[in-house]
Amino acid sequence: MLSEILLALAKVVVLLLVIIFPLAAVLTWVERKQSAIMQDRLGANRADILGLRAWGLFNIIADGIKSFSKEDWVPPFANRFLFNIAPFVGLFAAMVTFAVIPFGPPVEIAGHEVALQVADLNVGFLYMLAFGSMGVYGVVLAGWSSNNKYAQLGAMRGISQMISYEVVLGLALVGVVLVHGSVRLPDIVAGQGAHWFGWIPKWGVLTQPLAFLLFLPAAIAETKRVPFDIPEGESEIIGYNLEYSGAKFALFLLGEFIEIVVLSLLVTTLFFGGWQLPWLHDTGFVLGNGARLDLSPLVVTVLRVAGFLLKTCFFCWLQILIRWTLPRFRFDQLLRLGWREMLPLALLNVVATAVVMLW
Amino acid sequence: MARFVRVDHPATLKTSLYYPAALAGMWVTARHFFVNMWRHTLHAVGIRGGQPGSYTLQYPEVMRPLPRVLRSKHRIKVHEDGRPKCTACMLCETACPDFCISITPMEHDGSPEEKAPAEFRIDLDRCCFCGFCVEACPKDAIYMDTQIMELSSDRRENFVLRLPDLLDPRPIPCTGPEFAGKDPARILPHLGWRSLEHLRPARVDLSYRVERLKRLDQGKPGAHARANA
């Protein structure tokens, strides 16, 4: 029992320190540089250490120092307690989702089989959805406790947006669950390791294309990023984090970047095979025509984990591309899209998948 | 939220799907991303000469050539013997809509004009850079062609130019042999946007400013506070 707890803690620490925080920190830099390069600019490159600029990488440190040395101001008219915990609630909801994501196949260490996953819950799927929707509390509490009209407007927009799109999100994923017959994420990933005719990998994006097309925008709406950044809408209402400053504001930003990573992990896990690579089986590569390349289990595991991280990075990149390409939806357009266009399609997908699976 | 929305373009299947238009936009931005990354990579490994990966000018180090007609910091031309061409006729002070010029005249026996400025002050905090003083000057003495436009300071005194700051025989910083025979006003809109080859490091002569600041610091700060109006 104790060893299990220690193992889980070790996994949490490794996961946080090796994957999540570095990725989220680097994403702040990637976001600025990628948007600059997309727009024929150079981007942040002025922060230097002893004259070394390193393409602006030190801007991450400079940003951190700046935000943590700024005044942490609580407005006198705010609800102090809620105001102080709101950023942490948002961050918490974003970070706990990592627990159920399988980063790789189980590995054998010193005779024990260790799952590359913090918590192998048999309701992993529901856990993920539940904590994904807890993200709305960060927004609501921040907007409400600020006692500011615009922050409150942002919070209200956030609530209606996130609740609307949660419905679509959940329904889109029902199709995935129907295909794999399980709500355990490792099962879903394992199911995507099969191939049609030995050639075409049975990735979620191919078995459930409509679900993917609905899931991606709905999930971006859940992370409140452009084109669904209406709760923030900095050009019109500044948003739910209006009254925040210094380190707490930085926590909101960090939460946003962690949500990008979470979303990328989810898309990869549910629709792009998780840690499965095409034609890579436990023994090595096996192609449809029988050609094979045998690899040792260690190499296979390393390839799979690397492939998983690579796919995740690609989706982080894609989200930043989307964020710097598309304009913001108007609020009525957003709700109409969610309820009148995406929801019927999601229902249709569920029914069609169920019929196909039964038949 | 808009209560009434006038829809000029009724939704078609293509527009209400959103994906075609979104993907088209992402194609454009992704193409820019990859093309620029490729160019940056070429530059990083030392292959020069192609298109630049970005059109950003690294401003303090690199400066766009300024149009020669730009109205920048004032200067007063000098004769070959070093005395100012200004004869303290007060026309510029009269023409100035901001009352930022104040001249104290004095007699000058050694010059044919018999008159010269004892003190010539321009308060840049008031100046609107209209150039009326340049047009008013009958002696072609005051010019606004120094191309110095990075005028910033955290002290008001530093914005009051006095005669030693204005007597400036230096050539215009951004006119050099590479611009000989070209009309900067006409070629500049293209320079710096088409190709980075036309850019060169700005010749910002900092020693000049440091000297001026030193001079001003030695003087009494309150001495320039006299209102001109």
What would the pLDDT profile of A102-152 be if each residue is shown by its tens digit?
Answer: 887 877 776 677 777 787 788 888 888 888 888 888 888 988 898 888 888
Q: Which residues are registered as beta bridge partners of A108? A: A113
Shortest Cα–Cα distance, A27 to chain B (Å): 16
On average, the pLDDT of chain A sits at 86
On average, the pLDDT of chain B sits at 73
Q: What is the pLDDT of residue B208?
A: 52
Mutate which: B5, B7, B33, B51, vs A, most A CBs within 10 A:
B33
Task: Count residue pairs from A and B with Cβ separation < 8 A.
Answer: 54
SS3 A350: helix
Q: What is the pLDDT of residue B135?
A: 92
Q: What is the pLDDT of residue A324?
A: 92
Q: How confident is the model at residue B180 (pLDDT cuts 50, 70, 90)?
A: very low
Instruction: Give the domain extent around A193.
Output: 75-358
Q: What mean pLDDT do residues B191-204 have?
A: 38
Return the DSSP state at B100: -
Chain A neighbors of B34, CB-CB under 8 A: none
Structural domain includes residue A36: no
Distance, CA of A347 to CA of A178 (rounded, Å)? 13
Q: What is the pLDDT of residue B26?
A: 92
Return the DSSP state at A78: S
Of B26, B40, B58, the CB nearest to A325: B26
Q: What is the pLDDT of residue B134?
A: 92
Structural domain includes residue A39: no
Structural domain includes residue A306: yes
Distance, CA of A231 to CA of A162 (rounded, Å)? 9
Chain A neighbors of B25, CB-CB under 8 A: 325-326
Chain A neighbors of B6, CB-CB under 8 A: none
Statement: residue B215 has pLDDT above 70: no
Q: How many other C-beta atoms can be found within 10 angstroms of the C-beta atom of residue A329? A: 21
- Structure confidence by residue, pLDDT tens digits, B135-169: 999 988 898 877 777 777 788 888 888 888 788 65
Nearest chain B residue to A33, by CA:
B33
Closest Cα to residue B163, out of B80, B75, B97, B96?
B75
- Of all residues in chain A, the percent with pLDDT exceeding 90 is 15
Sign of the Cα torsion A323, A326, A332, A337 reads negative
- Structure confidence by residue, pLDDT tens digits, A149-202: 888 888 998 888 888 898 999 899 898 888 888 888 888 888 888 888 777 888
Contact check, Cβ <8 Å, A36/B58: no
Structural domain includes residue A160: yes
Phi, psi of A306 (to 5 degrees): -65, -40
Shortest Cα–Cα distance, A107 to chain B (Å): 37
Contact check, Cβ <8 Å, B30/A213: no
Retrieve residue A255's tokens. Answer: 């939460």
Nearest chain A residue to B17, by CA:
A341
Distance, CA of B23 to CA of A107 (rounded, Å)? 39
Distance, CA of A346 to CA of A173 (rounded, Å)? 9
Token pair 């830099």 is found at A29
Domains identified in chain A, total number = 1
Structural domain includes residue A7: no
Q: What is the pLDDT of residue B146?
A: 76
Q: How confident is the model at residue B220 (pLDDT cuts 50, 70, 90)?
A: very low
Q: What is the pLDDT of residue B175?
A: 43
- Of all residues in chain B, the percent with pLDDT exceeding 90 is 16
Q: How many other C-beta atoms can be found within 10 angstroms of the C-beta atom of residue A138? A: 27
At A347, the amino acid letter reads L
Q: What is the pLDDT of residue B185?
A: 40
Return left, alpha or beta for A294; rule: phi > 0 is left, psi -120 to 50 is alpha, else beta. beta
Contact check, Cβ <8 Å, B22/A37: no
- Structure confidence by residue, pLDDT tens digits, B111-144: 777 888 888 999 988 899 999 999 999 988 898 8
Statement: residue B179 has pLDDT above 60: no
Contact check, Cβ <8 Å, B53/A37: yes
Q: What mean pLDDT do residues A67-72 have?
A: 88
Structural domain includes residue A53: no
pTM value surpassing 0.95: no
Of B30, B54, B58, the CB nearest to A321: B30
